[in-house]
Structure 1
């Protein structure tokens, strides 16, 4: 392809949608789009933009509550399908969907009933900064080591190693 950005976007579009994990190890594994063992802010931002476009089913530049919850429910159902106990599946589905509805309200910073790309990116940036413990603009093994050291020292945080 003549344009590397187009090739990258096409590759990213084929990947499954993934939210930013609370585990730094999982975050690194899921968000490292180019496979170099680290996630730069630019790489993460590009991945979030592709994810936003993928979730925006009607392509209006806004995520409605139905789009946001529908996409999340699809990923959740795929994960829960591995749970054998039907009652546990149902209970977890209900709990997670309630939390997703609350998250939608938080992400909708201007309270207009939808999430725009700026609001979506702002939430991602907050997670990126939590994982980038050494504040070098990169999430990598050094950040995971810092998280493990903090955990061993008894410190608990919003994100884990």
Structure 2
């Protein structure tokens, strides 16, 4: 399969942006993962984005993410976010709480428990989130999926991800 030139250009641009985890909100998921700006996230687009994100996080380029690489990358993004909290005590508490959670996430992502996250492990966790957002399982996360999520919410069905 030959990648779409627009998608490749978007991926190169995405390499310059801070890494983002797959969001629990479908609207946010689309806005963060839609690399070519067409209002939807195709499975191939998402997988390519995850590959770029993994390469960006792999600081020593050894093909795996160590705990230090994973936590360090997350801490950098976290500092931008918690830096906006005015109260220094609340800022410190939030940073500590989030870093504890990141350490737990690393342990979960390291499925084979070898002390590192492989590209396959990284891709697998992203795919779980993609599949949760792709409610109609058509390989695309788009407005249709958000409408389905909204209907589920109205019907009282709760989900890990929201519209």
TM-score bracket, shorter-length normalisation: over 0.9
Q: What per-residue deviation string (whole Å, max 9, x for no partner) do you get for residues 2-25 of structure 1?
A: x93764542221222111011111
TM-score, structure 2 length as denominator? Answer: 0.93
2:14 alignment partner in structure 1: 12
Unaligned runs of 5+ residues in structure 1 are: none
* Change beyond 3 A, Cα 1:44–1:6: closer
How far the C-alpha of 1:61 sits from its partner, in A, is: 0.4
TM-score, structure 1 length as denominator? Answer: 0.94
How far the C-alpha of 1:158 sits from its partner, in A, is: 0.9
Q: Is the 8 A contact 2:136 2:145 kept in 1?
A: yes
Using the alignment, how far apart are the partners of 1:146 and 1:6 within structure 2?
Answer: 30
Using the alignment, how far apart are the partners of 1:99 and 1:32 within structure 2?
Answer: 26
1:86 alignment partner in structure 2: 88
| Matched residues, number | 159
Please show how residues 122-133 of structure 1 align to structure 2 within 5 Å. Answer: 122-133=124-135
Q: What per-residue deviation string (whole Å, max 9, x for no partner) do you get for residues 31-87 of structure 1?
A: 000000000010000000000000000000010000000101111110111111212
Query: Secondary structure of 1:44's partner?
Result: helix
Q: Which runs of 4+ in 1 moved over 6 A?
A: none
* Change beyond 3 A, Cα 1:46–1:78: same
